[in-house]
Structure 1
Amino acid sequence: MNLREPAQQVSARARWLWAGGALAQVVVAAGALVVVEWVSPLDLPWWAWVLLGVALASYVVVVPQWRYLVHRWEVTDTAVYTQTGWWARERRIAPMSRIQTVDHAEGALARLLGLATVTVTTASAAGALEIAGLDAVRARQLVDELTLKADAVEGDAT
């Protein structure tokens, strides 16, 4: 049996959420570079600074698009299935019988964009499954759906 891609994509607005996170990282990195350059000049040629600027701008523009193409999720009667990553891809499946908790979170930027994250915790050493960038209404529905499905399945969730 081949491990296929999950059927559902996250919200298209997730690209803006991820771009905001990438922009925050770039601002911190650029700020650190400015401080280093001010304290002890690196004496880099002009083209190295241009290349660095292009790389940082590309990170803000390209990575969110890339993540949007990769991030997927699906819920069946028996399991929750996720695919994440932008550099390395990870696919995870959590059987309904193993679900311990289902959490819903909305950060400040996510709330502004009408997005939320659903986290499914199991007893797995690999940690929780996270579906980030969902439409906030769909995320609340998913929490209700998973709670009911996990409760209906026989198992000890360990």
Structure 2
Amino acid sequence: MRREIRYICLGLFLPLSMNGSVQAETDTAAELQDHRQLVEMPAKTRALMRADMQDHLAALTTIFALLADDQYEKAGEVAEQRMGKSTMGKHRESGVPPGRYMPLAMRELGWGMHESASELAEVAKQGDVNKTYTALQKLTAGCVGCHMAYRTR
């Protein structure tokens, strides 16, 4: 009897909920227009920057794994070597460095990300768990802030 009641309820309300979800999807699609500022740059420059961003994601994954394994000093080394201030300007010699095409506010977010990575490196070496995770949150917030504000295509 309970099963029959469930099927009756589904038969009555499913068409209503499906119709509502179609409308919700349509509304959501209209609301999801990409609000980020387009930053135009040559294809080679965009490819360099994209490779950097992918490496930053891979570095973050490595950092999370090392922190989970209580390897704070090693996590700090990865943060500095792959995302820190020491990595800034590495494409200067290419002739098409991404920073040349970025609006000032975007460059400042990038500089902040590199500084946050170096800060994470220093804090992690001290082994203070709370300070390390606070520094990690600051680093990832910088990444999110830039990616939420800017796009290159």
- Give the TM-score category using the shorter length: under 0.3
- The structure with the largest helix share of the pair is 2
TM-score normalized with structure 2 length? 0.27
**Larger RCO: 1 or 2 (CA < 8 Å, sep 6+):** 2
- The structure with the largest strand share of the pair is 1
TM-score normalized with structure 1 length? 0.27
Asked which structure has the greater CA Rg, the reply is 2
